[in-house]
Amino acid sequence: MNDAPGGSVCRVSGTFGGLVLRCVGGMLCAVLVASGCSDDGSNAVESVTTTFPSTTAVPINTSSPATVPAATTVTPPTSLPAENAAPIPTGAPLSEEQQVFSAIERYYEVLVEANDPPTEDSLLWDDVATPNRAAALRVKAQENLAARRGIRWPENRQPLVHAPSTVLRQDSIAVVDVCLRDNLETYDLDTDAVIDESVSYAWVQLTVTDHFGGWLVSQYRTVQQFESQEPCVASYQ
């Protein structure tokens, strides 16, 4: 038996009336043998071999399958369970006092943004100040615009608010003292030339109000001016 691409080949041999019959597996051989007399009186044998391809009948199954095979569904990969997922690092929530200090810092940032250049109808004021205080800041922006001057950060920008200290905390109101280091530049809107770049220090007291869940500056006053930061901070601590 030999391996071949078409399957196994079997050679069957036999002798039929003096002939050797060899059939290759997978084929049926029919041999017709005829005997007769030749011209010289000897018995001549003529054979005709016809080859038919061998087929195997496959029974037809007319019965219906017991169940209809379900369609194959590809299941997409699922994410890892929540307990196996790496936790997202989050910082500790800010304390109420830290939220108040953060609101004051943001207040001064908006003070610069809304005046570089002055924008009297800026909506930023509503994010950091109560309506009355925001109205006063818009008036100041109008004055700067009329005078053709703006306010901007210097190249060596530094924090404005230093050493915030809570003076009073009651219900939804916090009164905070800070040392304000004012090194902002005042510049000409038309020429972009610097008008004032001096540095000053002031003890400033701000009232911050819990306004519908957000801390907003409601009052502002300058208590005292200083030439350096140390006496400014020492004045209220």
pLDDT tens across 65-119, in order? 445 445 445 454 444 444 444 455 567 788 999 999 999 999 999 999 999 999 9
Residue located via tokens 């050493």: 163
Question: CA 225, CA 231: separation in Å to the nearest integer?
Answer: 10
Q: What is the 8-class DSSP label of residue 129?
A: B
> What's the pLDDT at 195?
98
> What's the pLDDT at 9?
40
Asked whether residue 151 carries a pLDDT value surpassing 70, the answer given is yes
The reported pTM is: 0.62
Asked whether residue 236 carries a pLDDT value surpassing 80, the answer given is yes
- Contact yes or no for 107/128 (Cβ under 8 A): yes
Asked whether residue 209 carries a pLDDT value surpassing 50, the answer given is yes
Q: Which residue has the higher pLDDT, 11 or 137?
A: 137
> What's the pLDDT at 88?
52
Reduce the DSSP state of residue 142 to 3 states and report it. Answer: helix
Element (H, E) at 215: strand 214-226
Q: Which residue has the higher pLDDT, 173 or 41?
A: 173
How far does CA 160 lie from the centroid of its chain? 35
Q: 5-38 pLDDT, tens per residue?
A: 444 444 444 444 444 444 444 444 433 333 343 4
Q: Mean of the per-residue pLDDT values for the chain?
A: 76
- Contact yes or no for 149/187 (Cβ under 8 A): yes
- Give ∠ CA 206-149-123 in degrees, rounded to 5: 55
Question: CA 153, CA 61: separation in Å to the nearest integer?
Answer: 89
Domains in the chain, start-ordered, CATH in brackets? Answer: 11-53 (no CATH), 96-234 (3.10.450.240)
- Contact yes or no for 152/195 (Cβ under 8 A): no
Asked whether residue 57 carries a pLDDT value surpassing 60, the answer given is no
Confidence of residue 213 (pLDDT cuts 50, 70, 90): confident
> What's the pLDDT at 166?
96
Residue 231 preceded by cis peptide, ω within 30: no
> What's the pLDDT at 84?
46
